[in-house]
Structure 1
């Protein structure tokens, strides 16, 4: 039977200091990458010769699978790299330590000093040897319900990590798992809210705006966009084609809105509702810049669709400005964070009129007053708008 590793009393005390810090003194740090970098630095001071370390976290963000947090000797801050969903099909992943851990390995240890022909064959080990590293270890980091993430450590110490070093690192893993899970779930909650309700609404919800009826009055430019002939398309096209078409259309519309400071509050079937709060300077001009860029993106999308035999997509946009109630509306147990009010209804009516008047973008006189000196607008005339007593003066914008 092997004797337990001999641990120097001073080293043991230093290890306990690191563990105490990780357990008790990280509560005010919001980001796991900062905690991880500080952990590695403290490990070095405690005599554990960590030269390089990484933390691989599965996030399931709409655009990327996860994140890799990388630290190396001399760095005060860790580097964060996003990991795409297709990573598991790439050579840098296939056969890698991460691949082994995700497939069920409870430890991947590699002696980087021995003949490379005798060890695992993967580019990551060649890269580490080239940097003078001598030993590498990777372990799963278990979160609730068996969710597996990965933590790795490497050293350039001759002979690699000794048994006491490995024991010190293993002792930290359960606490690191707890500390990282809290931060990852906080980030996941924020990501999910940003994805489904937008960045500004998510901040309000996270700050406690969760009571039905709570909200504020906001003066904003309102934009409502709707796709034309979607019922016919959805009835006649294969399901996957319809989903792909909608995603392309929403990308073309949404990215310029976000880029110019707007916030999409909801997607409604084949339509969207976005606001540009007038608390932002040039909010109305920013909305029209977003519309112009979206129109160019739609032209590119239609050109791409025509190459695959798809019909061009047509759409209408209604734009108005006014006060809206911005907050929680719904049942006792199911809420929607949105905007309501006559100004929203007006934008919706203008969008409906685009088809009748043969215009892609219609603006109200109230909105045009903010931008007509800076943009080339076409006066369309005065038209009755359902739900409003007086005719509304309308303008078209051709971007």
Structure 2
């Protein structure tokens, strides 16, 4: 049995068999909720589904819970945290994501969450009556409007000092009873372990998606983790490189260079991803992306991505000029063909990427943009596959380094 499941079973046994010397300390309802949470949630991947079902089971057990939330801090390039919200009568949760900077907002700084995250072991408040204490949080007015009579928040402890927050709210006159609070506190250790497993699974997926892309991350999570594993796929290949980056990085302050690169990669990457492309790697000031030919519109999608990226880069250059910076130049090479898609590297350090002659041709075309003074060059093989020769300018045949035969090349203006 996996170590995590052994720990879960040990926790279940300890909770369900624990007594204080009086027979029947664990009512049937409590045993039912805990046994389900510890032993019957193994097949559920998503913590929001588990949380919703747990709240519904608590309500079925007689706990007057009308609203509950889970607040997680998450490792994500765009968001600092997430909230899972359940309300009585609903079979699905609402999920909200919070941007970086939310931790400095007045809404967060004047909330029970801030108090819990700064060391409080509990925040509990009766909301019955219309009078408002001057020390109350603004959240309480919103809860009163929903008919909530009591609110309670606790830290949800994970391993190595990681802490999140869970809240429950009641709409029962008088709020929660002592037995309800006991049940919550009995359930929390099991929920901590269950939620941590799901959160770390989600974290692993998020980190992989962030650093290798969604498609490659699926392959890795499915077991493609040994050197040499891979498949041959047909793909339209795009390689892009920023011009004069070495000179700019020598002239500009470090933070300006980072800001420049981020703006450039945003302008290039978002259209690629929006059109179904997969960015396999950023290479200094360049990127490599593929559009798998399993999509019959792959070549058309690639051209659409380039057109949108060129428009975005034009806007970025206008902004750079307003800031007194030089406009950015770039080169893009496009080809189509079979590539080996998989793991390459040393025994302990792997890179999930594509290699093959088709990638080399795209790279040579990108380099040729400097010589021909055209920002986007495409091979005849790609143009014929895309059926777009009439929209492009033929530049004739050119010898490419490392290739035995010259390649017919076309220039793309961005107008489609």
Q: Could you tell me the TM-score, scaled by structure 1's length? A: 0.96
Distance 1:204 1:170 in 2: 40
Distance 2:349 2:131 in 1: 59
Distance 1:233 1:152 in 2: 51
**Match of 2:41?**
26
Render the CA deviation track for 1:267-322: whole Å, top value 9, x for unaligned: 00000000001011210110000000000010111111211111111100000001
**Match of 2:6?**
none
**Which moved further from structure 2: 317-326 or 366-375?**
366-375
Give the one of 290, 294, 303 matched to 1:288: 303
Count of residues in Structure 1 that have an aligned counterpart in Structure 2:
394
**Match of 1:310?**
325
**Match of 1:79?**
94
SS at match of 1:288: helix
Render the CA deviation track for 1:220-262: whole Å, top value 9, x for unaligned: 0000000000000111111111001100100000000001110
Cα separation, partners in 2 of 1:334 and 1:35, compared to 1, 3 Å: same
Distance 1:34 1:18 in 2: 15
Contact 1:110 1:120 in 2 (8 A): no
Residue 360 (str. 1) matches residue 367 (str. 2): no
Distance 1:283 1:294 in 2: 16
**Match of 1:45?**
60
Distance 1:327 1:11 in 2: 53
Alignment of 1:252-271 (within 5 A): 252-271=267-286
Distance 1:75 1:307 in 2: 51
Distance 1:355 1:116 in 2: 72
Contact 1:110 1:119 in 2 (8 A): no
Distance 2:371 2:156 in 1: 59
Distance 1:398 1:274 in 2: 20
Distance 1:256 1:374 in 2: 22
SS at match of 1:118: coil
Distance 1:231 1:372 in 2: 37
SS at match of 1:338: strand
Structure 1 residues without counterparts, runs of 5 or longer: none
Deviation at 1:9, TM superposition (A): 6.2
Render the CA deviation track for 1:12-41: whole Å, top value 9, x for unaligned: 210110010000000000100000000000
**Match of 1:300?**
315
Once superposed, which parts of structure 1, at least 4 consecutive aligned residues long, lie more than 6 Å away?
7-11
**Match of 1:162?**
177
SS at match of 2:101: helix
**Match of 1:246?**
261
Contact 2:242 2:285 in 1 (8 A): yes
Structure 2 residues without counterparts, runs of 5 or longer: 1-19
Distance 1:344 1:170 in 2: 58
**Match of 1:197?**
212
Distance 1:396 1:390 in 2: 19
Q: Could you tell me the TM-score, scaled by structure 2's length? A: 0.92
Deviation at 1:57, TM superposition (A): 0.8
Residue 97 (str. 1) matches residue 112 (str. 2): yes
Contact 2:383 2:389 in 1 (8 A): no
**Match of 1:231?**
246
Residue 142 (str. 1) matches residue 163 (str. 2): no
Distance 1:233 1:25 in 2: 58
Residue 133 (str. 1) matches residue 144 (str. 2): no
Render the CA deviation track for 1:85-118: whole Å, top value 9, x for unaligned: 1111222111201111111111111111156433
Distance 2:388 2:63 in 1: 67
Cα separation, partners in 2 of 1:289 and 1:326, compared to 1, 3 Å: same
